[in-house]
Structure 1
Amino acid sequence: MKTLGLFRHAKSDWNDARLRDFDRPLNARGRKGAGLMGLHIRDYGMRWKRILASPAVRVTQTIELAAQAAGESPPLNWDRRIYLASSPTLADILREQDGDPPTILMVGHNPGLEDLIFDLVPDDGSSPLRDIVEEKFPTATFAVLELEIEAWSDLTDSCARLLHLMRPRDLDPRLGPQIED
């Protein structure tokens, strides 16, 4: 059995049109959401043996603010392939993990993270959390999947159960989509 955490970067700033997508920072709501989710991820109680992350600015800032709020200094593995990756690419990255850590947290972007959930969790009506993801996997959302595999190299479609899903607005309604900065 393996456990996979998925954490989407927090809300980014679109105000500077000169910036490349890769270089976009977080906006004020994103900074608040990242810290709040950092506390939630800590309180969830899972010890992540490996953290894989996109090196995009909005991801690095999300991790930094989440870690500061949680009082943690997690060891990070930056992988540029995670930046805007598709679900098959993310699955390949997971399959190639050496040392077979029992838990991995992947921090990245949509639509790849959301699609990875759709690929790994069967669409058989047994997961109300999957139904929520089908509506939207908003920024700074944190999900936990339990995978029925012995090694990461065994990762295959429909091998997981979605155990946990938390969005910033679930913890603070002011961080919901109806609020503008």
Structure 2
Amino acid sequence: MTCTLILTRHAKSAWDSTAPSDHARPLNNRGRHSATALGHWLREMGHLPDQVISSPSQRTRETFERMQLQSPAVFVERLYHASAEIIFQVLSEAERPCTMILGHNPGIGSFARAIAHEVPEHPRFFNYPTGATLVLEFDIARWGDLQWGSGKLVDFAIPRDLLVI
């Protein structure tokens, strides 16, 4: 059996926002367009998660909403600015074979590098920019069997590659 991970960093947020906290910071206009483009790309490529496990921040919630994936989502406080180790723990508790994790850097980028057996030859992979989305497959029957460095590369995209400018 195979489990599939879709690992997405939230889209570009509005640093000039009047939000009362980092947690409440929304997407900016580019981020909204990027999240929509990511959702279209995921549907076009057939990368449709059975479940989404997301940070509860405003920008991750907006990213999920704009992607229009029609997948059930849970918002987990542990994913707000989570380390790679916390992301690993959260994923190992997932119950569906195709799971999306939606979170923040630097943890999500560190997790992407550590969980993949091979990484994409994309020039932006190592800084995991906003909206970066990695798709990996794992030869495991359940997420509880997850091991570091075991993900097989399926796909990788960033919004800049998807948007027509």
TM over 0.5: yes
Q: Which residue of 1 aligns with 2:48?
A: 47
* 1:79 partnered with 2:76: yes
Q: Which has more helix, going by share of residues?
A: 1
* 1:129 partnered with 2:124: no
Structure 2 residue matching 1:23: 3-state secondary structure: coil
Q: Which residue of 2 aligns with 1:177?
A: none
Question: After the TM superposition, which segments of 4 or more aligned residues of structure 1 sit over 6 Å from their partners?
Answer: none
Return the TM-score normalized by structure 1: 0.83
Seen in structure 2, the aligned counterparts of structure 1 residues 17 and 82 have a Cα distance that, compared at 3 Å, is same
User: Matched residues, percent identical?
Assistant: 33
Seen in structure 2, the aligned counterparts of structure 1 residues 61 and 18 have a Cα distance that, compared at 3 Å, is closer
Structure 2 residue matching 1:24: 3-state secondary structure: coil
State which structure, 1 or 2, has the greater radius of gyration over its C-alpha atoms.
1
* 1:117 partnered with 2:118: no
Whole-Å Cα distance in 2 between the matches of residues 64 and 95 of structure 1?
24
Letter in 2 for 1:75: P
Please report the RMSD computed on the Cα atoms of aligned residues, expressed in angstroms: 1.8
Return the TM-score normalized by structure 2: 0.90
Q: Residues 77-120 of structure 1, C-alpha deviation per residue, up to 9 Å, x if partnerless?
A: 111111100010010011122xx421101111111111111111
Report the number of matched residues.
164
* More displaced 10-residue stretch of structure 1: 150-159 or 50-59: 150-159
Structure 1: state its 5+ residue gaps. 175-181
* 1:165 partnered with 2:156: yes
Whole-Å Cα distance in 2 between the matches of residues 94 and 9 of structure 1?
17
Seen in structure 2, the aligned counterparts of structure 1 residues 83 and 127 have a Cα distance that, compared at 3 Å, is closer
Report the CA distance between 1:149 and its aligned residue: 2.1
Q: Which residue of 1 aligns with 2:89?
A: 92
